[in-house]
Chains A and B, each alone.
Chain A
Amino acid sequence: MKLITAIVKPFKLDDVKDALKAVGVQGITVSEVRGFGRQGGHSETYRGAEYKIDFVPKVRLELVVEDSGVDAAIAAIKASANTGKIGDGKIWVSTVERLVRIRTGEEGPDAI
């Protein structure tokens, strides 16, 4: 089992969700986050004074999939979150040691 974490542009969230559902992903956890990458931040001007906004709003998705589903999920996120402009985000994958469904106590891939 793998945990896929993806950072995407907030307005792309619905597209990414639809794309992931289409490849059979059954659950996603989403959080609103702020950060910067190579894009850096942006600046805003208030009363003529410029403020540097270093951390720009992004959305973080987390989903656990079976090893066999990783490539399809990554492909879905890559295709749906891509705008071609700087700041589209990142995807990383890590190994999940143990997974438990709280209601039934099921463990492992059955709990996905």
Chain B
Amino acid sequence: MDSGNMAWVLISAALVLFMIPGLAFFYGGMDRSRNVLNMLMMNFYCVLIIPILWVVIGYSLAQTPFDNSFIGGFDSFFLKDITAAGDGMSLATIAFLGMFAAITPALISGAVADRMKFSAWAIFVPIWFLLVYVPIFKWVYGGWLGQRGSIDFAGGTAIHVNAGIAALAAVMVLGKRRTAPSPPHSMPLVMIGTGILWFGWFGFNAGSALAANGQAAQAFMNTFLAGAAGGLVWILIEWLRDGHPTNLGAASGIVAGLVAITPGAGYVSGPAPILIGLIAGAICCYAVRLKNKFGYDDALDVVGVHFVGGLVGSLLIGFFANPTFFEGSFDEGIFYGGGAGLLIEQAIANGAAIVWSFVLTYGIMVVLKKTIGVRVSPETESTGLDLAEHGETAYHGAQ
């Protein structure tokens, strides 16, 4: 492995880490001012606990041996036998993948905003990581879903669909907020968070080539275009439907486009990233309203953006995958001469991830609810989680 590849993977890993404050601001700005610090802490907590768990046991169970179908083993417990000798590329890759492990549970935090006890979140994150994230990651990368032929370049199924459906299960156990939903307390914070997320997403997607090559360059281009297309279509729909193009609409559409291109970033080319961004942006713009129809309280629309966007993007690979362009060994999509085979495999892979993630997340939340409890007290919910759970106030002198 040459030093160029090594440099790109290391930089990409740092870019993915930067997405965590990006996500924290994106969610925190949308939250109410009395709960913004709790939201930031739920996100930052993930990057306190997951890196350690990843190195101790997560990587070993998620990746070694690579050919295991369902779960890895203990061969790389505490990164045993992995050394800096040679090119050190495996160390760089483990660090890069560790960043993905850290941001995935953080995605769920937006759904449980305003009411989840921090102690319950602190226990939920490591358990969810070991029981849900690690197995699904194994199935998709090297395991039975990957072996069957489904593809997931940077984590559409393994990360966004997985975290998105987990968010739905979590809020079903957690229940609705007692107080009425509030408008975002700081749109500027949402916008800077969105900018940081997009910036970091270049590492997330283009870094997933694990090399500084043409596939990385196309993944970079796709990340550029799908985010733009998603944001553009969302504000156009709002403008026509609600009368104004909003900043929150632009931010939501950018994220929806980025989520949707993630699984196909290294597999699609030409007009595909624009079309995927447009389709996902339009669908998510309507999907975020489903919670009102079905009555689940997904506070910041993790289901409507990450689950729906990830699923749409993953299924669209079945149409747009273009192995000729990449000289790759994956199947062709329907628009590039393939049959429905790849689309069916994408559906099976997402179906398996959805069932596992939903059932186990629901179970983890029920156990937490019956033991330590998952909700803050009604008083804390109305006076704010920042002071009650963390002893801090975000904005002194202003409410």
| A positions within 8 Å CB-CB of B | 44-49, 51, 53
Contacts and interface: CB of A to CB of B under 8 A. Distances in A.
Interface string B222-255: 0000000000000000100111101011001000
A48 B183 contact: no
B297 interface: no
A81 to B, nearest CB: 25
B214 interface: no
A47 B244 contact: no
Contacts of B249: 47
Interface of chain B: mostly helix, strand, loop or mixed: loop
Contacts of B363: none
A46 B292 contact: no
Contact of B289 (A44, A48, A51, A53): A48
A59 to B, nearest CB: 15
A90 B248 CA distance: 34
A53 B185 CA distance: 12
A46 B252 CA distance: 10
Nearest to A51: B183
Which 10 A-B residue pairs are closest in the complex by CB-CB distance?
A51-B183, A45-B242, A47-B288, A46-B248, A46-B183, A48-B289, A44-B183, A47-B248, A47-B252, A46-B184
B181 A48 contact: no
Nearest to A44: B183
A46 B32 CA distance: 14
Q: Name the residue among A44, A46, A51 with the largest chain B CB count within 10 angstroms.
A: A46
Contacts of A48: 238, 241-242, 285, 288-289
B301 A47 contact: yes
B182 interface: yes
A53 B182 CA distance: 10
21 contacts: A44-B183, A45-B238, A45-B242, A45-B243, A45-B244, A45-B246, A46-B183, A46-B246, A46-B248, A47-B248, A47-B249, A47-B252, A47-B301, A48-B241, A48-B288, A48-B289, A49-B181, A49-B289, A49-B292, A51-B182, A53-B183
Nearest to B237: A48
Contacts of B184: 46
Nearest to B292: A49
A16 B243 CA distance: 33
Contacts of B244: 45
